[in-house]
Structure 1
Amino acid sequence: MKNNFKRNSIILVTLFFLTASSILSAQDKWGKGFAFEQNKRLGRGVNIIGYDPIWKDASKARMKDKHFKLIKEAGFNNVRLVMSPFKFSMNDSTYEINPSFFITLDYAIKESLKNKLMVIVDFHEHGAMEKNPLGNKAKLLSMWKQIANHCKGYSNDVLFEICNEPNMKPEIWNEIHKEAYQILRESNPKRTIVIGTINGNQIKHLKDLSLPEKDRNIIVAIHYYSPIQFTHQGAPWSKKNKDLSGIEWTQSKSEEEAVNLDFDIAQDWSKLYNRPLTLGEFGAYEKADMASRIRWTNYIARQAESRKWSWSYWQFDSDFILYDMDKDDWKTEILNALIPLKK
C-alpha cells in the first residue's frame, strides 16, 4: 500500500513538473524572447501604399504584384503597410468600415506574404488623432476591432501597429493604446503588437511610454528625421523647413555623434526595459542634395542595424521615394544606401 502511494505521488509530482514546464515553455515562446525574434526577422523594410490610388480604385493602383517581388529581391524583409481606415467609415456611430478597404488590405498582405515579406499593419491616422485624440478614440477602437477580427487568421508574419505618430499628451496616449491593446488581444492573443512613442515617435518620449508589463510580445516603434532642417528642407508640409535649401549632411564627427547620442538613449531604454525597437520611419526629402541623402540614409540604417533594431524606410513611392514609378525603376542611390552592394 505504501509503495503504491509512493509510486502515485512520484507520478503526480512528475506530471506537475511536466505540465509546469510545458506552460513555461509556451509562455517563453510568446514571451520576451519571441518579440526579439520577430524583430530580428523584420530586419530591413520599407513603407508602402500610404498614398497610392489603390485604396480608392484598384485600376489606378501604382503598386503592382511585381513590386512586392522586387522589394523582396532587393533584399528587404518587411513592408510597413500604411493604411488610413477613417476614410472608409460608413457610419458615424458604429464606424463600420467599407468592405472595399478590406479588399485592398488583403491584397497587400497576401502579396507581401507570398513574397516572404513580413507585414506591419500601420494605423496611419495621426492627423485626426492629433486634432482630437479623445474624440476619435471610439473610432480608432471600433475600427481596430474590425481589422483585428478580419486579420486574425493571418500568420505571425503580420504585426499590428496601434497608431502611427500619436501626437498627444503621454497620459492620453497611454490610455488609448491600453484600450486598443486589450481589443487586439481578444481576437489575436499571439499577435506581435507594435506600440510607438508620442509626438512623431520621438526617441526622447520613450520614457513616457507605459506598456503592459506581463505582455512581452510587443515591439516599440521610434522614428528618426534628425536633423529636421536637413531631412525636411523644402518639404511643402513642413512649415518651419519648407523654405530651407542647400543644407548638407557631410557625416562629420559631430553629425555622427549627434545621431549616436540619440540612438544610444533609445538603446539604453531598450536594454533597461528589455523591449525590442523598430525604426518605423526615416528618410531625407528629395530637395536635399543626393550625396548628403546617401550619406545620411546609409549611416542611419547601419547604426540601427548595429543595435539590432529592425527598420522600415519612408517610403517606397510618393515622396522620399525609393522607387520611381514614372520610370518604373529603383532610385538606385537610395537603394544602395539602404542595402549596400555586396563586395
Structure 2
Amino acid sequence: MKVGNCERDSYLSLMNSLIRKICFLFLSLVFSGASIYAMKTVPSTTVDISTLNGYLSRTINIAFTFDAPKEGAWGHTLAASDFKLIKAAGFTAVRLPIQWVARMDTVAPYTIDPQFLARIDWAISEALKNHLAIVLDNHLDAQLMKEPAVFHERFLSLWKQLSTHYSHKPQQVMFEVMAEPHEQLDAIWNDYFKEALAIIRESNPTRPVIVGPPFYNLVYKLNDLHLPQDDYLILTVHYYDPIQFTMQGEDWFPMGKPREWIGTQWLGTEQEKRVISHAMDAVSDWAKKQGRPVFLGEFGAGDHADTVSKARYFSCIREQAELHGFSWGIFNFAVKFSLYDQKEKTWHQGLLTALIPTGKR
C-alpha cells in the first residue's frame, strides 16, 4: 500500500501508540499477579523470580506418593482428580516429594527408569492443565546423606538427566535440588548444590531452583548457607516447631519421645505466636540481605494433634508467612499429616479454611 508522508507519519504514530498500550497492558498483567498460563506466547525469561515465587503462594505437598519406594506403597496413588480437587480448593501449586534414587540404575550412568519419568511427565501435564505450578523435589536419598562422596556422581547424574529432559517446560515447573540435607552432607552442601546448579543452568538458564540450608532446611542454619550469584533461586525453609505438638505420636520421628507428647495442644497464646513470628522475622532478615524470595516449603502437624489446635497453628503460620511476603507449602495432602480425607473424599474444612479463607478460593 502506497501512502504519502503525512499518512505514513500518522500510520507510524498510530502503530507506536498501539505498541505502547500493548506493552503497558502486558506489564500490568504480570505485576498484578495475572496468570502466566494465559500468556503462552510471552517468553518465560520475562518473568522475574519474585513473580515466579508468587505462583507458589498457596502450595500443597503431595507426599507419601512418589517419595515411597513404589507409588501406592505408602497409601496414595496420584490421580488426575487430585489436581482438580487441589485447584478447586484454592491452591496455586503442588510440591511433589520424589525419591528419585529408588527409580535409578545402581551403576553409572544411573539412568532414571523411563516409565517412572513418563509418570512424572504426566503429573506435570496434569498440574499445568489445572493452572498449578509444580515443584519437583529430590527427596529421601539416605545414601547421599551418609556417604556423599560415594554417591556424588549419581546425584549429579540425576540433575543432568532431569535438566535435559525438562528444559522445554515452562518456568512454572520448578526444581528443588535436595530436600532437607543432613548428616554428612551438611558440611559440603554448599559445594554440592553449586555443582548441581551449574549442570541445571547449562540447559535451563531461567529455571526456578529452590534451595534451603543444611540440617533439614531449618531456620537456625541459614547462616551456613552460601548461595552463588544467580537470578533464579528461591530460598526454602521448613518449620515444625514445637515438635512436641507437630510430631506427637509419630514413631518414625528420630528425636525425643513422640508417644509421650500425645495430647499436646497449641493454644495460640501470645508467647506461642511470638516464637513463630521471631522465626519468620529471622528468615525475612536473612532473605532481604541476600535478595532472595522465600518459599516456606513445609509446615504441618501430624494426625495425633487435635484439629482445633492444628487450625490455630496453621492459621498463625500462614498469616506470618503472608505478612512477610513468603509463599508457603502445607504438608500434606493425604495419608498422613493430611488435609484431605481419602476415605470420606472430603477436605478437613477447618484446616482448609485456616489456610485458605473462603474469600480466597
TM-score w.r.t. the length of structure 1 is: 0.86
**Among the aligned pairs, what percent are the same residue?**
37
User: How far 1:280 sits from its partner (Å)?
Assistant: 0.5
1:245 aligns with 2:262: yes
Against the structure 1 CA distance between its residues 276 and 53, is the aligned structure 2 distance closer, same or farther, given a 3 Å change threshold? closer
Gaps of 5+ in 1: 1-28
Indicate if the aligned counterparts of 2:76 and 2:334 stay in contact, CA closer than 8 A: no
1:82 aligned partner: 97
Against the structure 1 CA distance between its residues 291 and 47, is the aligned structure 2 distance closer, same or farther, given a 3 Å change threshold? same
Q: Among residues 317, 322, 335, which one is paired with 1:305 in the alignment?
A: 322
User: How far 1:57 sits from its partner (Å)?
Assistant: 6.0
Superposed CA RMSD in Å reads: 2.2
Residue type of the alignment partner of 1:209: L
1:230 aligns with 2:245: yes
CA distance in 1, matches of 2:161, 2:202: 12
2:84 aligned partner: 69
1:204 aligns with 2:220: yes
1:293 aligned partner: 310
Indicate if the aligned counterparts of 1:126 and 1:165 stay in contact, CA closer than 8 A: no
2:62 aligned partner: 48
1:144 aligned partner: 159
User: How far 1:63 sits from its partner (Å)?
Assistant: 2.1
1:125 aligned partner: 140
1:25 aligned partner: none
1:37 aligns with 2:54: no
CA distance in 1, matches of 2:223, 2:187: 12
Indicate if the aligned counterparts of 2:66 and 2:98 stay in contact, CA closer than 8 A: no
TM-score w.r.t. the length of structure 2 is: 0.82
Indicate if the aligned counterparts of 1:55 and 1:101 stay in contact, CA closer than 8 A: no
1:260 aligned partner: 277
Indicate if the aligned counterparts of 1:194 and 1:220 stay in contact, CA closer than 8 A: yes
Against the structure 1 CA distance between its residues 30 and 266, is the aligned structure 2 distance closer, same or farther, given a 3 Å change threshold? farther
1:338 aligned partner: 355
Indicate if the aligned counterparts of 2:248 and 2:304 stay in contact, CA closer than 8 A: yes
Against the structure 1 CA distance between its residues 204 and 51, is the aligned structure 2 distance closer, same or farther, given a 3 Å change threshold? same
CA distance in 1, matches of 2:176, 2:67: 22
> Any idea what the Cα deviations from partners look like across 1:211-260, whole Å, max 9, x if unmatched?
112x1210011000001111101111114142121111111011011111
User: How far 1:53 sits from its partner (Å)?
Assistant: 9.4
Against the structure 1 CA distance between its residues 53 and 156, is the aligned structure 2 distance closer, same or farther, given a 3 Å change threshold? closer
User: How far 1:132 sits from its partner (Å)?
Assistant: 2.0
Indicate if the aligned counterparts of 2:234 and 2:294 stay in contact, CA closer than 8 A: yes
Gaps of 5+ in 2: 1-43
2:41 aligned partner: none
CA distance in 2, matches of 1:329, 1:55: 27
